[in-house]
Chains A and B, each alone.
Chain A
Amino acid sequence: MLNRLRRTFAHGIHPPEHKHTADRAIRRFPFAPQLILPLAQHIGKPARPIVRPGQEVVRGEPIAAADGFLSVPIHAPATGTVTAIALAEDARGGKGEAILLRPYPGDDQRVRYGAPRDLATLDREALIQAIQDCGMVGLGGAAFPTHAKLAVPDNFPIDTLIVNGCECEPYLTNDDRVMVEWADDLVRGIDIALRVCGAARAVIGIEDNKPRAIESLRRHLRDHAHIAVEPVATKYPQGAERLLIKTLLGREIPSGARSWDIGVVTQNIATLAELGQLLPLQRGLIERVITIGGDVERPGNYLVPFGTPLRYLLEQAGFREAAGEIILGGPMMGSTVPSLDIPVTKGVSGVLALAEDWHLGQARRVYPCIQCGHCLAACPMHLNPSRLGMLAARREYAQMAQRYHLDDCFECGCCSYVCPSNIPLVQQFRIAKAFNREQAAAA
Chain B
Amino acid sequence: MTDPRLELRSAPHLHAAQGVEQIMRNVVLALLPLCAFGVFLFGLSAAALIVVVTLSCLGTEQLFNRLAGRAGTLGDYSAAITGMLLALTLPPAFPLWMGAVSGFVAIGLGKALFGGLGFNVFNPALVGRAFAQAAFPAAITDWSPVMRAGRFLELQSSSLSLPFMAPPESAVIDAVTGATPLATYKTGVATTSNFDLLFGFTPGAVGETSALLIMICGVYLLARRMLDWRIPVAILLSAALLSGALNLLDPARYPGALYMLFSGGLMLGAWFMATDMVGTPVTPLGVWVYGVLIGVTTIVIRLFGALPEGVMYAILLGNAATPLIESVTQPRAYGRRRPRKRGPP
8 Å CB contact of B20 from A334, A408, A421, A427: A421
Kindly state whether residue A115 has any CB partner on chain B within 8 Å: no
Task: Say whether B336 contacts A255, CB under 8 Å.
Answer: yes
Provide the residues of chain A in CB contact with B15, threshold 8 Å. Answer: 362, 364, 416-417, 422
**Minimum CB–CB distance for B110 against chain A, Å:** 15
Point out the residues of chain B lying under 8 angstroms from A322, CB to CB: 4-5
Q: Is the pair B331, A384 in contact by a Cβ cutoff of 8 Å?
A: yes
Interface residues of B in 267-302 (CB under 8 A from A): 277-284, 287
B340 in the interface (beta carbon within 8 A) = yes
Other-chain residue from A15, A315, A324, A387 in contact with B7 (beta carbon distance below 8 A): A324
Contacts of A256 in B (CB 8 A): 335
Q: Per-residue CB proximity of B318-332 to A under 8 Å, as 1/0?
A: 000000001000111
Interface membership of B224, Cβ < 8 A: no
Among the stretches A44-52, A148-156, A374-382, the one at the interface with B is A374-382
Q: CB distance A417 to B287 under 8 Å?
A: no
User: Which of these, A16, A257, A315, A427, contacts B1 with CB under 8 Å?
Assistant: A315
Q: Say what secondary structure dominates the interface of chain B.
A: loop
Is residue B8 within 8 Å, beta carbon to beta carbon, of the partner chain? yes
A contact patch SS = loop
- Return B49 CB to nearest CB of chain A, in Å: 27
Q: Quick check: is A335 within 8 A (CB to CB) of the other chain?
A: yes
Contact (Cβ within 8 A) A367 B118: yes
| Residue from the list A16, A338, A426 in contact with B11, Cβ < 8 A | A426
Does A19 count as interface, using CB distance less than 8 angstroms? no
By the criterion CB–CB under 8 Å, are B277 and A373 in contact?
yes
- A338 and B8 within 8 A (CB): yes
**Which of A55-63, A209-217, A246-254, A277-285 sits within the interface?**
A246-254
B343 and A403 contacting across the interface, CB-CB below 8 Å: yes
The answer to whether A323 and B4 have CB atoms under 8 Å apart is yes
Instruction: Mark interface residues in B12-25 (1 if CB within 8 Å of A CB, else 0).
Output: 11111011101100
CA of A418 to CA of B23 in the docked complex: distance in angstroms? 13
With A311-B3, A323-B4, A371-B279 known to touch, is A405 a contact of B13 (CB < 8 Å)? no
Known: A323-B7, A337-B6. A382 touches B12 (CB 8 A): no
Chain B neighbourhood of A160, CB < 8 A = none
Q: Which residues B42-100 have CB closer than 8 A to chain A?
A: 76
Asked if B195 lies at the interface with its beta carbon under 8 angstroms from chain A, I say: no
Tell whether, in the assembled complex, residue A336 and residue B12 are in contact, meaning their CB atoms are under 8 Å apart: no
Binary CB contact string for chain B from 164 to 196 against chain A (1 if under 8 A, 0 otherwise): 000000000000000000000000000000000
**Are A420 and B23 in contact (CB-based, < 8 A)?**
yes
Tell me which of A26-34, A67-75, A325-333 binds B.
Answer: A325-333
Question: Given A384-B331, A420-B19 in contact, is the A327-B277 Cβ separation under 8 Å?
Answer: no
Q: Are A408 and B334 in contact (CB under 8 A)?
A: yes
Partner of A417, one of B5, B12, B119: B12
A416 to B22, CA, bound (A): 17
Chain B residues lying within 8 Å of A411, measured Cβ to Cβ, are: 11
Given the known interface contacts A255-B336, A405-B336, the answer about A386 and B13 at a Cβ–Cβ threshold of 8 Å is: no
Q: Flag whether A433 is at the interface (Cβ < 8 A).
A: no
Measured CB to CB, the closest approach of chain B to A122, in angstroms, equals: 36
B287 contact set on A, CB distance < 8 A: 373
Is there an interface contact between B282 and A383, defined as CB atoms closer than 8 Å? no
Flag whether A321 is at the interface (Cβ < 8 A).
yes
Residues of B within 8 A of A246 (CB): 334
- The interface residues of chain A lying within 8 Å CB-to-CB of B6 are 323-326, 336-340
Find out whether the CB atom of A417 lies under 8 angstroms from the CB atom of B16: yes
Q: A334-B13, A368-B118, A386-B282 are in contact. Are A255 and B335 (CB under 8 A)?
A: yes
Q: A242-B334, A336-B9, A383-B333 are in contact. Are A418 and B16 (CB under 8 A)?
A: yes
> Which parts of A251-305 form the interface with B (CB within 8 Å)?
252-257
Cβ-closest chain A residue relative to B12: A413
How far, in angstroms, from A338 to B3 measured CA to CA in the complex?
12
Knowing A242-B334, A408-B334, say if A371 contacts B282 (CB, 8 Å).
yes
Report A-chain residues with C-beta under 8 Å of the C-beta of B284: 373, 376-377
Question: Chain A nearest CB: distance from B22 CB in Å?
Answer: 8
* Set of chain A residues within 8 Å of B1, measured between Cβ atoms: 315
Given A332-B11, A332-B12, A426-B12: A408 touches B333 (CB 8 Å cut-off): yes
Q: Which residues of A contact B282 (CB under 8 A)?
A: 371-373, 375-376, 384, 386-387
Interface hub of B4, B10, B287, B343 (most chain A Cβ within 10 A)? B4
Q: List 21 A-B contacts (CB under 8 A).
A: A13-B16, A242-B334, A257-B335, A323-B5, A331-B14, A332-B11, A335-B11, A336-B8, A340-B3, A359-B9, A368-B115, A371-B278, A371-B282, A372-B277, A373-B282, A384-B282, A387-B282, A403-B343, A405-B336, A408-B335, A418-B18
Closest 6 CB pairs of A and B: A368-B118, A413-B12, A373-B282, A323-B5, A255-B335, A372-B277
- Residues of chain A having any CB pair with chain B under 8 Å: 13, 15-16, 170, 242-243, 246, 252-257, 311, 315, 319, 321-327, 331-340, 352, 354, 356, 359, 362, 364, 367-373, 375-377, 380-384, 386-387, 403-405, 408, 411, 413, 416-418, 420-422, 424, 426-427, 430
